Amino acid sequence: MERYIGIDNVCAWPNLTLFPDGTIIATIFNQPCHSHWEGDVECWASTDGGRIWEKRGVPAPHEPGTSRHNAAAGIADDGAFVVIAYGRDGKKSKEEVIDMIKEGNYQDYYKAKFKKLKPWVCRSYDQGRTWEHSETVIGTPFGDPAGPFGDIVKCPDGTLGVSMYDDSIITAEKTANSYFYRSRDDGKTWGEPVVIGKDDYNETDLLALKDGTILAAARTEKVGQLKLFASHNSGNKWQYKCDLTLPQQHPAHMLSLADGTILLVYGVRNKGGYGVAGRISKDFGENWSEPVFLVNLGIRVNDLSIIDLGVRVNDLYYLDVGYPSSVQIEDGTIVTAYYCGGIDEHMRYHMGVVRWKLEEYFS
């Protein structure tokens, strides 16, 4: 196993896309925070199997007072690289937020309800160097702008699919719903939302299998657990299959490896163990191996006054980790990227990368 700091000083939330020529593109959020200040969705490229990364383009540059940070990504049939980027309004600049933290005036801003922005559909025909944009995603059934997550997939009926979610206020209860969205024009417009998980689900990753099944690994809102759903009719109806993880183990990314094995990777934030774990399935998601740690960052101490800001204070800091994404390159090596809020060996937010082989962890 090889381990690298792929991109430094970013929160990232990486999504990896493998192109036919072997180039890997990481779609990331480019600021070292949880979108607390203005920021963009960027694309970084690796042409050496995930060791070295260089900035390539900006699919979703933020407008003043906003942050573009959540994204889904994939390749359309016409070869376009498609990124759907979501964000929030009412954001301040990095300098203003840091001044607020120093002055002790940050909590009201931190707890504010920021207005959701309509997702942008961003398309690139040169592997992420230049981009065109449109606002062609309909809202959720509750009228909210939809929050994209994970990979754009090719459905058995020839359409494209992606997962999106909301966190609407329904009566007096907060609820979250995960949806399957469809595009019938090769990723240019998106709609026809179908519920995957209702009332307690948000970030969901999709995987289209060769037998026509689409799997969805959905994160629950309340306890942060992953649950598996499946569709056998191109996303028109979904059924619960099984629990994939314990609480505080999320969100998911699934990948079909060259031999047909399904790889699941996810973040772990349990007391006594933080990092990135993985499981595999040899039978299309019916049964799963025991989990293994791919990246074990050990035990850290939380200081809620600096939560997810990646700042060290009095030798206490919050370890923010997870959101892994994987691709498998031609020689069978798996490249998994994740994000981390700082460890003893590297104190800044960063996108970490591990290069590994399946047989190193799974017999």
Find how far residue 296's CA is from the centre of its chain: 19
Q: pLDDT tens-digit profile of 251-260?
A: 999 999 999 9
Domain containing 40 — which CATH number?
2.120.10.10
Confidence band, pLDDT 50/70/90 cuts, at residue 241: very high
For residue 315, the model assigns a pLDDT of 37
pTM value surpassing 0.75: yes
Phi, psi of 306 (to 5 degrees): -125, 20
Q: In total, how many domains does the chain have?
A: 1
pLDDT at 204 over 60: yes
**Cα–Cα distances in Å, from 98 out to 27, 69, 109, 112, 263?**
26, 19, 12, 16, 39
List, for residues 304-326, the tens digit of each pLDDT value.
Answer: 333 344 444 333 345 688 999 99
Give the residue, 346 or 85, on which the prediction is more confident.
85
Reading the block at residue 185, the tokens are: 């024009």
Its domain, for residue 23, covers: 2-361
The Cα–Cα gap between 49 and 6 comes to 11
